Amino acid sequence: MKVLSPYKEATDVILEAGGEPLKLCYQCGLCTGICPWNLVRSFVVRRIMHEAQLGATDFGSEDAWTCVTCRACVQRCPRGVEIIDVMRAIRRAVASLGIGVVPDALRISAKNIAGVGNPLGEAPEKRDDWAKDIKVKTFASGTEILYFPCCIPSYDPDVKTVARSTVTIFNKLGIDYGLIGTEAKCCGESIRKAGYEDTFQSLAQNNINLFTSNGVKTVVVSSPHCYHTFKNEYPELGGKFEVIHITQYLASLIEQGKLKLSKKINKKVIYSDPCYLGRHNDIYDEPREILQSIPGLELIEFPDAREDGLCCGGGGGRIWMDTPKGERFSDIRVEQAVEKGADIIAVACPYCVLNYRDSVLSMGKAETIQVKDISELVAEAI
């Protein structure tokens, strides 16, 4: 008979990789009950915590790579366990110590990021190609704002519109902004969550040096993931900048009367809170304020909005990994939106744009519903 004995060495590996919070877990199972995976398949978060406590973690299991880091569990954990930190520690143990298997798709993205500074494996010098036909400035000392669009809007042909809309708005309003150029690299948020700490450190150092040497004081970002790491993780590494998410920035321009939205968008719009904007950084109102100031637009809500909002499935490195049909959160979200009678799903995160657009296409709903980033909607309404 196979008997389990606690294996302290395995626990120690996880603890050393930053899994310290696992000690606090008292096994109530609330995390499992909340985890969105259990809407589509079994994922017993609590058991992962307990296995880690006893050193019984199966480093070869796909469980290590499942968590989307949406923070729904952490937000309500009665012991305040930073469950994401534990998941990340297990991944670090696998990725850096080689004691398990990294899924192929993730390994390729990690290689791309480490090699060329973006997960798509595109050429660094093409980073600003999305803006080729638009007049954009290069950031120079004294420029007020650095606009940092995130790798996906920079390279992905379907999401480029997010960045293009943003600079269109900026140009119309005469905002003093610039792009940092092709030396910029991926912010590193997701690759860090995927366990590649060294890669993250080198990306962060590259960007911090680049920003600092150019005299950047304020960064406006399109991605909540860039927002999260610039705001909460870079300062510890010496990168202290004012970080503003595009929705915060646009909402403040509207409030100051500098941005006036006059064109009507007579549509029913449902807003999906990105995890890294909402639960991770408590930004819930600004995106809604922007949408509500678009004339003709009717804003409706998902049954589980704001703090309870369902993840698109793209966090924690999952954006690079394939999720089989039937297990995609974004499919559930699109269904919910259609059921609510929405014409447009509005989002504020490039990962969400990518996932929801994929879902709409694969579900054959392109006729019924569209997916738009808030910056795209604003560019239309201006």
Binding site for other proteins (CB under 8 A): 26-34, 38, 42, 44, 46-47, 76, 78-80, 303, 308
Nearer residue to other proteins within complex by CB, 62 or 176: 62
Nearest to 138 by CA among 181, 170, 176: 181
Nearer residue to other proteins within complex by CB, 50 or 111: 50
Nearer residue to other proteins within complex by CB, 24 or 101: 24
Q: How far is the CB of 39 from other proteins (least distance, A)?
A: 9
Return d(Cα 250, Cα 259) in angstroms, integer.
8
Burial of residue 262 (CB within 10 Å: 0-12, 13-18, 19+) is exposed
Return d(Cα 179, Cα 202) in angstroms, integer.
21
Q: How far is the CB of 44 from other proteins (least distance, A)?
A: 5
Q: How far is the CB of 335 from other proteins (least distance, A)?
A: 13
Return d(Cα 221, Cα 166) in angstroms, integer.
10
Q: How far is the CB of 63 from other proteins (least distance, A)?
A: 12
Nearer residue to other proteins within complex by CB, 108 or 305: 305
HSE (side-chain half, CA atoms, 13 Å) at 8: 0
Start-end of H helices in 214-349: 224-228, 246-255, 285-292, 329-339
Nearer residue to other proteins within complex by CB, 27 or 212: 27
* Longest Cα separation, the chain: 73
Return d(Cα 207, Cα 233) in angstroms, integer.
12
Q: How far is the CB of 138 from other proteins (least distance, A)?
A: 45
Nearer residue to other proteins within complex by CB, 38 or 232: 38
Q: How far is the CB of 326 from other proteins (least distance, A)?
A: 15
